[in-house]
Amino acid sequence: GKYRVVSTKSMPGTRWINLLVQQDCRVEICTEKKTILSVEDIIALIGNRCDGVIGQLTEDWGETLFSALSKAGGKAFSNMAVGYNNVDISAATKYGVAVGNTPGVLTETTAELAASLSLAASRRIVEADGFMRAGLYDGWLPHLFVGNLLKGQTVGVIGAGRIGSAYARMMVNSCTSGIYDYTFVTKLEKNCQIEGFKMNLIYYDLYQATRLEKFVTAYGQFLKASGEQPVTWKRASSMEEVLQEADVISLHPILDKTTYHLINKERLSKMKKEAILINCSRGPVVDEEALVEHLKQNPMFRVGLDVFEDEPYMKPGLADMKNAIVVPHIASASKWTREGMATLAALNVLGKIKGYPMWSNPNQVDPFLDENSPPPS
């Protein structure tokens, strides 16, 4: 191969490797056993000559690494992730390295995990599973693991981009056939079998989620026409409005300075005592210590967490809370999605090496939000 491309981790599938190899690249995959590579480990991988790197969200891509990559002749870096809070874009720009990410392919897989956690939390599935395995079940009881019915309750979405919108659609009408399926409205008219959780929606985003609004409106009209209680939706004018009104709240913003500890002690106190909070975005969006305290004070408040402030660690006390469900950052972990992420990361790096724009870069506008809409008043 004419070009040297390094992947800091082995990634699912072979398509991404074939793509690179067919286009004059020699692919080197790091075989280091430890999970999280240090900056020094990655500098060693980059070596004296490297055209592009595919990296992971656990790595700190800042000044040091972009300087090393640039010195080695590298022009391209792609995260194998949609999130890029681990990447210092201005440092990359300074050293002439283009940065890519992998949106789109993980939208619905991630939304499905957020939906799974919402259901698991509302029906106390993990707690009940532990109860069975501990041999504590000694017969059916009217009070045993009573949870909440989602139907008719309100789902609150904070950050209604690709993932937030897909999640919202699932919770309103679980039979979404894909956010890329433009024919949904027609199907609604033709196919009376489509049913869902029928939650009402309230969302908060700086931008208007035009397509989400159209979708929920159409579903509401369909329900009304068939003589059922229609679902409703509302774009909140403040995040507080979502916190106060929603029964299940799911967080889908990007992590940056403006969303760090977006959910803090004060905002937790605004939520309903029996609310459910889901986080499949980034850990630091939630003040995890404040959350642990809130879980202790409010036994009926429940959370489903895929991400943590200080991964791979949890804040003290969290693991002991029965009203918390915790999973290890697996929201994008479906085979199809992970192979897709690897392929997109490879295409990003390959594109740049060959002199084309990256397939996706973090500055690209989310096509599911209307950037021309005014912020909420």
Catalytic residues: 282, 311, 329
103 binds ligand GLV (CB under 6 A): yes
Q: Which of residues 313-342 bind ligand GLV (CB under 6 A)?
A: 332
12 binds ligand GLV (CB under 6 A): no
With contacts defined by CB under 6 A, how many residues of the chain interact with ligand GLV? 12
Which of 291, 324, 334, 279 lies closest to 164, judged by CA? 279
Q: How far is CA 349 from the centre of its chain?
A: 23
Whether omega before 103 lies within 30 degrees of 0, making that bond cis, reads no
Residue number with CB closer to ligand GLV (156 or 220): 156
Which range touches ligand GLV (CB under 6 A), out of 76-84, 241-249, 296-304, 356-364? Answer: 76-84
| One-letter amino acid of 89 | I
In the shown chain, the binding pattern of residues 155 to 174 toward ligand GLV, with x for contact by CB under 6 A and - for none, equals ------xxx-----------
185 binds ligand GLV (CB under 6 A): no
Residue 12 CB, shortest distance to ligand GLV, in Å, is 13
Q: Which residue is nearest to ligand GLV (CB)?
A: 161
Q: Which of residues 135-154 bind ligand GLV (CB under 6 A)?
A: none
- Binding ligand GLV (rule: CB under 6 A), the pick from 50, 98, 106, 353 is 106
37 binds ligand GLV (CB under 6 A): no
82 binds ligand GLV (CB under 6 A): yes
Residue number with CB closer to ligand GLV (104 or 220): 104
Which range touches ligand GLV (CB under 6 A), out of 78-86, 178-186, 236-244, 262-270? Answer: 78-86
Residue 30 CB, shortest distance to ligand GLV, in Å, is 19
Residue 2 CB, shortest distance to ligand GLV, in Å, is 30
Residue 356 tokens read as 């084309």
57 binds ligand GLV (CB under 6 A): yes
Residue 331 CB, shortest distance to ligand GLV, in Å, is 6
Residue 255 CB, shortest distance to ligand GLV, in Å, is 9
259 binds ligand GLV (CB under 6 A): no
Residue 14 tokens read as 């072979």
Residue number with CB closer to ligand GLV (70 or 281): 281
**Per-residue burial over 20-51, b = 16 or more CB atoms within 10 Å of its CB, e = otherwise:** beebebebbebeeeeeebeeeebbebbeeebb
118 binds ligand GLV (CB under 6 A): no
Residue 107 CB, shortest distance to ligand GLV, in Å, is 6
Residue 283 tokens read as 């850990």
Residue 130 tokens read as 């532990």
Strand pairing report for 25-29 and 76-79: unpaired
Residue number with CB closer to ligand GLV (275 or 286): 286
Residue number with CB closer to ligand GLV (253 or 351): 253
Cα–Cα distance, 331 to 279 (Å, whole number): 10
83 binds ligand GLV (CB under 6 A): yes
Q: Which residues bind ligand GLV (CB under 6 A)?
A: 57, 81-83, 103, 106, 161-163, 254, 332, 366
